[in-house]
Structure 1
Amino acid sequence: MSEIVRIDDLEVQVRRSPRRKTVDLIVDRFGDLVINVPESLPEREVEAIVRRKQEWIYGKLEHKDAVLKPAGTREFVTGEGFYYLGRKYRLKLIDPTEAPQSPTLCLRNSRFWMLRSAAEKGRSHFIRWYTQRGEAWIPDAVQKLKDRVAAEPRAIIVRDLKYRWASCNALGDVYFHWRVMLLPPKVVHYLILHELVHLHDHSHSLTFYERLGRAVPAYREIELWLEANGDRYSL
């Protein structure tokens, strides 16, 4: 497992090199915080540098969050389209008399059905729906995929991760943004395997990519697709 420094709510990967003479702190394209340091730099000095740079770090994370925020906001009206596992379904607002036993929001007959009275808080209802689906669908997918990388997560949690699609920690907990349930299944499978590989190697090292490439040979194509299209899969 890679060296990690934790300061308040920040988790920073430490990469040491015997050839490095300077310190470089970056937010990589995955939203991970990485500090490149000389091999002999004491951990307490690494922590001190991160503390001094906290304001800069939060600014960078806020910028990345803004970049990844959806460009438009969906309206919760009949006919609006919403993604689920890569497929777009149209919304139909209904009155209780049309479907007396219908829940507030459901997917039925290739359409999302939502009670008209719930439309004002439609986004909250969709987030809850996607989260619940993720809590059932993702663990099942993990069970089917984990043997590819010989990894066993301790826990799987679905919640709002702001600018990240997924993340994990040194304890083996793997987190997924509820938005992953809007993505095509093969993209979700890639995100799952990406995080499972991180249980072996928390950095994006050559070893990490070699292991990921064996599990997902087309991983770079999927990454590029996600960078180009990810903001479409939102509320």
Structure 2
Amino acid sequence: MQARLQRLAERPTPLDGADAALLQKAAGTTGDATLAAQRLRGAALRLRSQQGVADEFRRGLRRSAPQLRQIEGVLRRAGVPEEVAALPLVESMYNSRAQSAVGAVGIWQLMPKVAKELGLRVQRGHDERRDNLRATRAAAKLLRRNFRLLHSWPLAITAYNHGAYGVQKATQDCGSDDLAYLIDHYKKTSWGFSSKNFYAEFLAAQALVHPAARRGAMR
């Protein structure tokens, strides 16, 4: 993938449909070839791989399979695109027992304070963050809150990682609500690798979970 991105940055002639899609995404609505080349080079530099991730994703997909339709239904009824059911793959590989070093728990990796604000019980011996359906309802509330503030699902999903007000400040400082533009131009220290790449990681997970015809539908 890194070689593909570098090749397209230097010679923007698509060899297949995947190349064409990458070029279109990079150019955005402007169709600016210079901007597209800059974004492709940046993406190639940010791209990284980790040993064992493919195997862990396979395990995550197996864990998600029995409950995916239920999770999608909860999201849909809450007004969140059902494609967001892929997000727990990024957060926890759909492992309800997952717990981060800072205390985030469950498939949605909710922090204790946030979980309580969203209506979940977080007690010793009874932590509803490990109840996948209850946690999904809570995560859906948070995602809808992000969307109401930011008016964009790519931004709302990025805010799940970076924080809604942090993303809002990025849009205000840059004078743009285009995520690709923010990734290229917002320079605050807290806007680091994780925040810049979170939505791309989500799209990669979505591509594994959902058929190609349903990808890229969110705005």
Q: TM above 0.5, one fold?
A: no
* Bigger radius of gyration: 1
The structure in which a higher percent of residues are helix is: 2
**Structure showing the higher strand proportion among its residues:** 1
TM-score bracket, shorter-length normalisation: 0.3 to 0.5
Tell me the TM-score normalized by structure 2.
0.32
- Identify which of structures 1 and 2 has the higher relative contact order when contacts are C-alpha pairs closer than 8 Å and 6+ apart: 1
